[in-house]
Amino acid sequence: MKTTVPLLILSTSLFGGCSTITSSEMQTVTLSARTQGGDAVDQTKCTLKNDKGSWTATAPGNVMIRRSAEDLNVECKKDGMSDGFLRAISRSAGSMWGNIIFGGGIGAIIDHNKGTGYDYPNDLRVLMGESVTIDRRDEKTAPVEQTAAKSPAAY
């Protein structure tokens, strides 16, 4: 009985903050821009924003962004084309549930505040002239499919 309590405390402390230990605050995503006909658009200037920061990039390419519980908004511009808007939904990573179950929630609070307990879709495909929302949940179950919204005014 005397060794059970210290082992329980040790195991709880090891599982607390699981995402902080196993994941980075940063995530690398692939950014691309396409026409409504599906053709690639090169040298597109894009801005990616969430509550943790703002990043500028040229599509196509890879961008390192800071993870957050908030969605990631992307705006791409190219001379002679209508702007493209994308909202990437932030989803909790599986390690967040491990924190709640094994860590009593303290690790989940830490991971929430640092952003390490969340992920964005890995492939951000901006459709020029459209407003698109993508979800990592769709990425795991089927090929990336995007749905166009009616108006870019949501950004």
Closest CA to 95 of 66, 67, 64, 123: 67
Asked if pLDDT for residue 2 goes beyond 70, the answer is no
Asked if pLDDT for residue 117 goes beyond 90, the answer is no
Helices assigned H by DSSP within the chain? 4-15, 18-22, 94-103, 106-114, 136-141
**What mean pLDDT is predicted for residues 59-81?**
96
Asked if pLDDT for residue 155 goes beyond 50, the answer is no
pLDDT of residue 25: 83
pLDDT of residue 17: 41
What is the pTM assigned to this prediction? 0.68
